[in-house]
Structure 1
Amino acid sequence: MDRRERSWTLYSKPGGLGYESADGPYPFGTPIRLPEPFGGTVDSGGF
């Protein structure tokens, strides 16, 4: 989450040197779709 830019990025697939996957950035208010095994969607409108 970047409050200055009012955006979020979803990082996933942790690896030895950081995350292997990044989805974003997207503006606040864009739904966050969580990858498996979590699944589901988070509303980012309240950030």
Structure 2
Amino acid sequence: MDFEIRKDRRPQGLRRSDPEREEHLRLVDLGIGNTEACRIIGINRRTGKR
């Protein structure tokens, strides 16, 4: 797995992170729910819904 959870897990503001987006989609495709996928990656649940 070439995705790494970033050390600084504070909100990223308007910056978009393509690796995080791809990892979120991969986790959801594996059957993990949005809330749990967001928790694993370190993003807000609402961000994952977008």
TM-score by shorter chain over 0.5:
no
Q: TM-score range by the shorter chain?
A: under 0.3
Name the larger-Rg structure: 1
Q: Which TM-score applies when normalising by structure 2?
A: 0.23
Q: Which TM-score applies when normalising by structure 1?
A: 0.24
Looking at secondary structure, tell me which structure has more strand per residue: 1
Looking at secondary structure, tell me which structure has more helix per residue: 2
